[in-house]
Amino acid sequence: MEISEFLARKLERRFETFDFDGDGRIQRSDFESSAAALAAEFGHGPDSPAAQRLLNLSLQLWGRLASVSDVDIDGTVDLAEYKQAFAEGLLVTEESFEQGYRPFLEAITTIADVDGDGKLNADEYVRWTGALMRLPADDARECHRRLDSDGDGLVTTDDLLQAIHDYYFDENPAGVGSWLLGKLPG
């Protein structure tokens, strides 16, 4: 797959959100730390079933990412490895993204949906994206606003799944998916 300049910017942004400790490389500890931060943000101890499910899914995501991206087998993934794996169709494809992302998004919603309605209001959205990906609150609020296509103040797992699809496969800079992780660099 050819990576356009726009998609390259989106991949760089996604890489930043995976790199929880900000050291320029993605590693298992980034996934462990981000899952723990999200659980803690919503008062789930590390042994709670919801936190354990999120951690297990996070580690599965890391395992998949490492197995296809870590070409020098050093236990980390750098930006070049990440982009190359995406270009080769090894990370996410239009056919596979739902299978990989839906369980993860459902686990996030289980933790972040404080009122238990199965949907995320703006405050819940800001809290989970800040804890898991360190997304600035203003960016998260703007993203939530864009995802809330029916204007009811709530975002569903399906809304998020569509935005993830569009993040990777839609070249429209004004599209909802382009705002999934806030304002893009560059």
Any idea of the CA torsion for 168, 173, 175, 181, to the nearest 10 degrees?
Answer: 60
The pLDDT confidence band at residue 170, using thresholds 50, 70 and 90, is very high
**Rounded distance between C-alpha atoms, residue 162 and residue 165, angstroms:** 5
Q: CB–CB of 91/65 below 8 Å?
A: yes
Entry pTM: 0.91
Residue 32 predicted with pLDDT over 90? yes
List b or e across 63-81, with b for residues whose CB sees 16 or more CB atoms inside 10 angstroms. ebbbebbbeeeeebbbbeb
Q: Give the single-character DSSP code of 156.
A: -
Q: How far is it, in rounded angstroms, from Cα 110 to Cα 50?
A: 7
Per-residue model confidence as pLDDT tens digits over 66-107:
999 999 999 999 999 999 998 887 777 777 778 888 899 999
Q: Are 178 and 184 a contacting pair, CB within 8 Å?
A: yes
Structure confidence at residue 135 (pLDDT): 95
H helices then E strands: how many in the chain?
Answer: 8, 2
Which residue did the predictor score with more confidence, 51 or 168? 51
pLDDT tens digits for range 135-159? 999 999 999 999 998 999 999 999 9
Domains detected in the chain = 5-171 (1.10.238.10)
Q: Does residue 116 have a pLDDT over 80?
A: yes
pLDDT range class, residue 109, cuts 50, 70, 90:
very high
CA 153 from centroid of its chain's CA atoms: 21
- Calpha distance 43→85 (Å, rounded): 35
